[in-house]
Structure 1
Amino acid sequence: MSKYELALQRIDAAHSDDPNTITINDTTLPYELHYAQKMTTYLERLNPSASDLLRLAIRAQHLRRWEIPRASYPATKIGYHSWRAELQRRQAALAEQICVDSGYTAEEAARVGAMVRKADLRKGDPDTQTLEDVACLVFLDDQFDKFESQLADEEKMVDILRKSWGKMSEAGRAEALKIQLSEKGKELVTKALAG
């Protein structure tokens, strides 16, 4: 087994510990394993020749996310950003350790961790941008309708969509326009893009 295959297996084993599940076509999966597989699917659409390090970062983006629930931080904007920062830091550290344990060098593992943290997104790093695009695509495809129904605040949802759109590359935006959304989702996306 290659170091890439070993690292991927270990990442997926960690995802498999998620007590939250999703059932699709009569198959029940741990939710974070499902999420990771969706991330890989969208990576294949955007960049089928992606490096192994980017593939691992994509797969590890939500590593053991359920262990730090959103409710463990205040229900404020600062609380949300603090929660996200802690998740990224922790997920990056876990991914780096898995990479090292699987035979990658410390430098290679650090590169995976930096992508998971989205450390170079503002510097225009193409791999980190691809990870951001993929995360936005999976949100739209897999989480948006549920999130929208729970939030029930149209203005806030339009703002979230505008911010997501602003983070995406042209390739990511083109892929986003192919996603089949609910009627309400389409309406909100139209409003977000018009504003």
Structure 2
Amino acid sequence: MANSNKLELAFLLFDKANTKDPNVEEYLGKAYPKELLYAIRMTEKLNTFKPDASEALKLTARCQHICRWEIPRESYEMNRAGYLTWRQDLKKFHAERASSILKEVGYDEETIEKVRFLLEKKQLKKNEDTQTLEDIICLVFLEFYFEPFAHGHPEEKIIDILQKTWRKMSNEGQAAALELPLSKKSLTIINKALNS
């Protein structure tokens, strides 16, 4: 099977898994399973930010949150230690779920291992694909999820999260973030975070 056909089939199977998300998000008057919409946004952002991305990176962007609802945050202690454990468990869970689909599609072990490596966010700031994935994650968060998130949290927490997000990004990612179609309110708090 040609790689482009494999990629399309992998996307189809990732999306099929994510259509089972019971959480729904409205976007432009249409209801989507939450993680399906997130996956589509990740692919679209990667295509814009890095159109020549490797196949492993394209696959990873599409399955980065695959079936995330199956391990809810509430099933862990609601403190920092619980949050960090949840995040680590999610990385392993996504890697396992994605690997089984990639094997089904017929990807070779090398590609599957690359996707696992990226899903586990290894060598951030050192590996180019890992860094690009992190940039895409941050850009999608800032464009689509930041404002609703900010609405329900105190400003000092938002500023802290923005500063941490900014530090994770490359110079190219930071430049792309400043070009996002953000509201005046979001831009104001982002500028405050970057200048404090």
Whether TM-score is above 0.5 comes out as yes
Match of 2:150 in 1: 148
Map Cα deviations across residues 70-124 of structure 1 (whole Å, 9 max, x no partner): 11111111111111111111001111111111111122101101101111214x1
The answer (yes or no) to whether the contact 1:115–1:128 under 8 Å persists in 2 is: yes
1:75-154 correspondence to structure 2 within 5 Å: 75-122=78-125, 124-151=126-153, 153-154=154-155
Q: Is 1:51 equivalent to 2:51 in the alignment?
A: no
Match of 2:16 in 1: 13
Match of 2:172 in 1: 171
CA RMSD of aligned residues (A): 1.3
Q: Displacement, 1:180?
A: 2.5
* 2:66 counterpart SS class: coil
Map Cα deviations across residues 16-46 of structure 1 (whole Å, 9 max, x no partner): 1111112222221111111111111110121
Amino acid in structure 2 at the alignment position of 1:92:
A
Structure 2: how far apart are the matches of 1:169 and 1:17?
A: 34
Q: TM-score, normalised by structure 2?
A: 0.94
Structure 1: how far apart are the matches of 2:44 and 2:7?
A: 17
Unaligned runs of 5+ in 1: none
Match of 1:29 in 2: 32
Amino acid in structure 1 at the alignment position of 2:72:
P
* 1:62 counterpart SS class: coil
Q: Displacement, 1:51?
A: 1.6
Amino acid in structure 1 at the alignment position of 2:192:
K
Structure 2: how far apart are the matches of 1:178 and 1:79?
A: 34
| Percent of residue pairs bearing the same amino acid type | 43
Amino acid in structure 1 at the alignment position of 2:167:
G
Structure 2: how far apart are the matches of 1:165 and 1:50?
A: 22
Unaligned runs of 5+ in 2: none
Count of matched residue pairs: 193
Q: Displacement, 1:137?
A: 0.6
Shift >3 Å, 4+ stretches: none
